[in-house]
Amino acid sequence: MADADGALVLQVVGLRKHFGGVQAVNGVDLAVSEGELRAIIGPNGAGKTTLFNLISGDLPHDSGQIYFRGEQISGLMPPELCRRGLARTFQITSIFRRLTTLENVQTALLTHHRRHHDLFRPARRLYRDEAMVLLDRVGLADQAPKPSGILAHGDQRRLELALALASEPQLLMLDEPTAGMAPRERHEIMALAAGIATDARLTIVFTEHDMDVVFAVARRITVLHQGAVLAEGTPVEVRAHPEVQRVYLGHRAKPAR
Ligand SMILES: Nc1ncnc2c1ncn2[C@@H]1O[C@H](COP(=O)(O)OP(=O)(O)O)[C@@H](O)[C@H]1O
Ligand SMILES: [Mg+2]
């Protein structure tokens, strides 16, 4: 169910992208309202990551339009989109492994506030308190002094979430934020993201292949299949959708409890 007044944060119209002969994103329409926690699901190769890359400006699209808070953003680069409030994380972890957990977040805050060249204050102290607030929020405060490269895998994903939050986004796109995690930790990190979305009035669009996690946290689900939207609706609607059961949930479909 769309929340609040239903103002659209993200709107995608007729989006297409091909790689050689592969139509990775094949005419996708998508509308995400403010405050939503939207899951994009679909089998491997459905086009989820490509769709994220097009929206975040990491890849140019072939045709179609993308609107962020009512403004056309097609062709804008990721740093500009980030300044406007659109942040994303990657399926593959992208932290600075040799910096401490705290320094990673401080660096992200420095970048966001564009003070790379402040020579008069030791970088070590810059945004320290703000960084600690973010680390606390994702449950990593006690890991602050550790080199981020030695953090447990799940903690590195939490750190990525903190890095994305450092840019104070209005829309956060998370591509498989729980990849490589144990099931319990998956639920934890998504519950954390859901809590942050509510507190910070964030809109979150995420991909996730663990259906239990998707059905537990998403309020709306979009199903991609071969680059196109196959179905969209509430978890109950999507679960009952015959095409979704056929091409995607198939053997995983569970009887209603
Ligand atoms: N950089 C690329 N070059 C060529 N083909 C790609 C590239 N990225 C993705 N594809 C292809 O596009 C399709 C969609 O991939 P992807 O968006 O990664 O799907 P998903 O994230 O849903 O698993 C797949 O067939 C994939 O092989
Ligand atoms: Mg992917």
* DSSP letter string, 111-179: HHHT-TT--SS-GGGTTHHHHHHHHHHTT-GGGTTSBGGGS-HHHHHHHHHHHHHTT--SEEEEESTTT
Same-domain check for residues 154 and 225: no
Residue nearest atom 5 in ligand 1 by C-alpha distance? 19
- Band of the pLDDT at 114, cuts 50, 70, 90? confident
Q: What is the pLDDT of residue 1?
A: 41
Q: Rounded mean pLDDT of 112-141?
A: 80
- Band of the pLDDT at 96, cuts 50, 70, 90? confident
Q: Select from 114, 134, 168 the last residue of a domain.
A: 168
Task: For strands 203-207 and 171-175, give the pairing.
Answer: parallel
Q: Which atom of ligand 1 is nearest to the CA of 53?
A: 17
Same-domain check for residues 203 and 151: no
Same-domain check for residues 196 and 224: yes
Q: Quote the number of domains for the chain.
A: 2
- Ligand of minimum distance to the alpha carbon of 48: 1
- Band of the pLDDT at 198, cuts 50, 70, 90? confident
Say whether pLDDT at 119 is over 70. Answer: no
Cβ pair 220, 233 in contact under 8 A: yes
Residue % of the chain over a pLDDT of 70: 88
| Two tokens, residue 222 | 């979009």
Q: Select from 104, 137, 168 the last residue of a domain.
A: 168
Q: Which atom of ligand 1 is nearest to the CA of 51?
A: 17
**Helix (H) or strand (E) run with residue 10 in it:** strand 8-19
Same-domain check for residues 157 and 176: no
Half-sphere exposure of 19 (CA within 13 A, CB side): 9
pLDDT in tens, 208-250: 988 899 999 999 999 999 999 999 999 999 999 999 988 765 5
Same-domain check for residues 186 and 144: no
Q: Select from 168, 191, 221 the last residue of a domain.
A: 168
Same-domain check for residues 152 and 176: no
- Show the domain range for 140: 94-168
Same-domain check for residues 131 and 80: no
Measured in Å, residue 157 CA sits from the centre of ligand 2 at 16
- Specify the CATH number for the domain of residue 4: 3.40.50.300
Same-domain check for residues 79 and 174: yes
Residue nearest atom 12 in ligand 1 by C-alpha distance? 24
Cβ pair 174, 196 in contact under 8 A: no
Q: What is the pLDDT of residue 63?
A: 97
Q: Which atom of ligand 1 is nearest to the CA of 50?
A: 17
Same-domain check for residues 64 and 133: no
Ligand 1 pocket, Cβ-based, cut-off 6 angstroms: 19, 22, 24, 42, 44-50
